[in-house]
Chain A
Amino acid sequence: MTTPVIRIRDLHKVYKVGAEVVRALRGVDLDIHRNEFVAIMGASGSGKSTLMNVLGCLDQPTKGVYELSGKPTHKMDSSQLAKVRNEEIGFVFQSFELLNRASALKNVTLPLVYSDKHFWGARRRAKESLTRVGLADRMDHRPNQLSGGQRQRVAIARALVNEPSILLADEPTGNLDSRTSDDIIALFKKLHAEGQTIVVVTHEEDIAGHALRIVRLRDGKVVSDHPTSQDPIHQDYLRRSLEAAKHAAAAEGAPA
C-alpha cells in the first residue's frame, strides 16, 4: 500500500484546565489514505474535537507521531504549522466562518493571500473553486446575501482553493436544515468522486453513513474502525431506523 496521507501513531494529548489534568487523547493510531472518505464519530468528551484540532494542525500533540503527507507535523513550530494548514488542509467549520464584509470571491481567495504558491492567478483559482461547488453565479454576493447552504458551499470552495491533501469538516451540517444538509453531503460525495480525501467529524449517524469508513472514539481512544458497510453500530442504526419507518407506515396504514 502507498504511504498514507495521515499517519498517526500513539498520539497523546494532555490539557491542564486549572488544577485538573485532562487526558483528551490516550494513544490514538490512525492511517488515512488518499481518496478515503472517513467519518470520525464520538460523543462529546470522547476526544474527537481534540483529534480534529490535531489533524488540522491547529494544536500540537503532547506525545506521539502525526505525519501529514509524510511531513512530521509533531516536530513543527507555529510558523511551519501555519504553512502546512495553508497548503495541506482545507477547513470546513460548523458555523462557516466567512468574513461578512467580503464577497464570496474574496472569502475564497483568503487562503491564497497567505500562500507563496499561486501568486499569479489567485482570482482565477478562486473562481474555479466557486464554480466547482456550484456558486458560479454568486461570486460577488456577500455572506449575508446567501443562504446557509450557499455559505457552507463558499466555505467549502475556500477549503478547496489551495488543493489540500485533506478536506477537514467539523460538523459541516450542524447549522443546516436536513434538505440543505443533503445538498452539502452530495457535494462531499461529488468531491470524493473527483479524488478528494475527506475527513468529516460528526456525531450524526445519518451523516456518517455517507462516508465509506467510520472511526469511533471513546475516552480518547479509537474503539472501532470499520468500513461503513461492516460497522456494527451503524448497521444496527440502519436496521432500527428501517423498523421505525415500518412502524410509522404501519401506524399510518392501520385504521384509527
Chain B
Amino acid sequence: MILVRLLFQTVLLALGQIWANRFRAVLTSLGIIIAVWSVIGVVGAMQGFKGFLLDQFATFGANKVWVFPRMPPGQRDRYSWRQVRMTVDQIDSLLPNSPSLDKVSPILQLNCDVQAGDRFIRMATVQGVRPSWHDIEQRYVTVGRPLSNTDEEQRRQVCLVNDKGVRELALADDPTGSYVLVQGRRFLIVGVVETKQVSPMFGGDEAQTEIFIPFRTGESMREFPRMYAVATTKAPELFEDARAEITAQMRRVRKLGPEDPDTFGVEAIEQAIAQVKSVLGGATFMLAGLVSVALVVGGIGIMNIMLVSVSERTREIGLRKAVGARPEVILLQFLVEAITLSMVGCVIGLALGLASVAAMKAVPDSFLSKANAPTWAIMLAVLFSAGTGVVFGMFPAIKAASLNPIEALRHD
C-alpha cells in the first residue's frame, strides 16, 4: 500500500522536478533522445529495405527452383561439357522422383536471328519451353492462345512473342496468324505473352524481344542444345526438400560416385529470400547494437545531472530523512527520477523516430517506402532507456540515500 503511494508520489515528484527544469531535462536526455531516435529510424529503414528486397524476389515467384549444369569449381579440366550438360531424360526423371515438386519444364536456350517483314533482330532470345512453363513462370498470353501439348508432340512451328517483340518486329497489335522467320524457319505466331520486368538489381535491364517455341521443335534446331530446368515446389517452405530430392536424383542419373562433386546446381528463390532475411536481420541487430552505444553516452549525461540534483537538494534530502524517509525510500525517489528522465527522453526519441519512419514511407517510389518501426524495436528502445536510467541513476541515488541527515541539514 505504502509502496504504491510512494511510487506514485515519487513519479509525480520526479515529473514535477523535470517540468520545473524542463530545458535542462531535455538537454540532459538529449543522448537518450538521439539514441532512441536513431534506433527506431535505423531499424525502420532496414525493415523498409528488407521489404523492398523481398518484393524484388517476389517478381520471380516464391516457390521457384532452378536446376542447371555447372562445372564443379576448380575441376574444369576433369569434366567435359558432355558430362555436365543436361538432357531431357534427366530433367524428365525429376518430377517422378521428387515428391516436393509440382511442375517441371526444361528450358532450351537458343539465340537465333529473327526476321519479320523488313525487321531483323540479330541473336534474339529464343527459348524452347513446355506448356507447363506458363504456370511455372506465371507468364500468360494476352492475345491468342498459349502453347499446347499438341504443339509439343507434333513439333509444330508455332511461337509466342512478347510485347517488346511485337513492337520491335513491327507486328500488328494482334499478330496471331502472321509469321516470323527464326533461323530461317517460318513460325506461325499463335499468341502474345506479357513481358516480365525483372528488377535491375538482378541483372534484368530493359525488356528484350523474346520468342517462345515448343520444346521439341527447339530440340530439332540444335544438335547439342543448352538447356536447364525450372520447377515449382508444392509450397515455398519445401525448397530444402526439393533441393535434396533433386540433388539425389541428378546424382543418380548422372552416376556420380560418393566422392564426386555435383556437376549441376540447384537454386531456390526461397533460399535466397531466407539468406537476405538473415543477412538483413543480422545487420539490423548490429546497427541497433551500435546505436545502443549512444544510450550509454545518454546515460552518462543522466548520471551527471542526477549528481547535480543530489547536491542541489542536499538540504531537502536531509529534511526528508529527518521526517522519517528511510534510506531505501530516498534511493527509490532518485532512481525513479533518473528513470523518469530517461523515459521522457525515450518518449521524445520515439516520437521523432516514428515521425522519421513515417517520412521515409511518404517518399513515393523510394526503396524505403516499406519502412516501418516493428514492435520489438520500440520495446527494445523502451527497455534499454529504462535500463540506462536504472544503471546510471543508481550511483547518484545511493549517494543521496547514504547522506547523513545532520550534515545534509547543515549543508548550504
A82 interfacial by beta-carbon distance below 8 Å: yes
A243 interfacial by beta-carbon distance below 8 Å: no
Say how far B155's CB is from chain A's closest CB, in angstroms.
95
User: Is B409 within 8 A of A59, CB to CB?
Assistant: no
B102 interfacial by beta-carbon distance below 8 Å: no
User: Is A101 within 8 A of B16, CB to CB?
Assistant: yes
Say how far A34's CB is from chain B's closest CB, in angstroms.
22
Chain B residues within an 8 Å CB radius of A119 = 1-2, 5
A188 interfacial by beta-carbon distance below 8 Å: no
Q: Which residue of A lies closest to B412 (CB)?
A: A95
Q: Tell whether A111 pairs with B326 under 8 Å between CB atoms, given A99-B316, A101-B16, A101-B20.
A: no
Chain B residues within an 8 Å CB radius of A114 = 6, 320, 323-326, 329
User: Is A97 within 8 A of B315, CB to CB?
Assistant: yes
User: Is A56 within 8 A of B5, CB to CB?
Assistant: no
Chain A residues within an 8 Å CB radius of B16 = 101
Chain B residues within an 8 Å CB radius of A158 = 323
User: Is B406 within 8 A of A115, CB to CB?
Assistant: no
B301 interfacial by beta-carbon distance below 8 Å: no
User: Is A82 within 8 A of B5, CB to CB?
Assistant: no
Q: Tell whether A79 pairs with B325 under 8 Å between CB atoms, given A53-B406, A116-B1.
A: no
Q: Tell whether A91 pairs with B323 under 8 Å between CB atoms, given A113-B5, A113-B6, A114-B329.
A: yes
**Interface SS majority for chain B:** helix
B327 interfacial by beta-carbon distance below 8 Å: yes
Q: Which residue of B lies closest to A110 (CB)?
A: B323
Give the total of A residues in contact with B, Cβ under 8 Å: 25
User: Is B1 within 8 A of A86, CB to CB?
Assistant: no
Chain B residues within an 8 Å CB radius of A26 = none
Tell me the complex Cα distance, A99–B20, Å: 14
Tell me the complex Cα distance, A111–B323, Å: 5
Tell me the complex Cα distance, A86–B324, Å: 4
B405 interfacial by beta-carbon distance below 8 Å: yes
Chain A residues within an 8 Å CB radius of B370 = none
Q: Tell whether A115 pairs with B324 under 8 Å between CB atoms, given A97-B409, A101-B20.
A: yes
Chain B residues within an 8 Å CB radius of A93 = 409
Chain A residues within an 8 Å CB radius of B316 = 99
Contact with B along A154-169 (1 / 0, CB 8 A): 0000100010000000
Chain B residues within an 8 Å CB radius of A83 = 324, 326
Chain A residues within an 8 Å CB radius of B328 = 79
Q: Which residue of A lies closest to B323 (CB)?
A: A111
- With most chain A CB atoms within 10 A of its CB, the pick from B316, B323, B328, B329 is B323
Chain B residues within an 8 Å CB radius of A115 = 2, 324
Chain A residues within an 8 Å CB radius of B5 = 113, 119
B170 interfacial by beta-carbon distance below 8 Å: no
B:99-127 near A, CB below 8 Å: none
Across the interface, A58 reaches (CB within 8 A) one of B1, B2, B320, B322, namely B322
A85 interfacial by beta-carbon distance below 8 Å: yes
B64 interfacial by beta-carbon distance below 8 Å: no
Contact with B along A174-197 (1 / 0, CB 8 A): 000000000000000000000000
Q: Which residue of A lies closest to B408 (CB)?
A: A58
User: Is B9 within 8 A of A113, CB to CB?
Assistant: yes
Given contacts A53-B406, A58-B405, A59-B406, list 8 more A-B pairs with CB under 8 A. A79-B326, A91-B323, A97-B315, A97-B409, A99-B319, A111-B324, A114-B6, A119-B2
Can you list 9 contacts pairing A with B, beta carbon distance less than 8 Å? A58-B405, A59-B406, A85-B321, A85-B322, A97-B318, A97-B322, A110-B323, A111-B324, A113-B5
Q: Give the top 3 A-B pairs by smallest Cβ distance, nearest first.
A: A86-B324, A111-B323, A82-B326
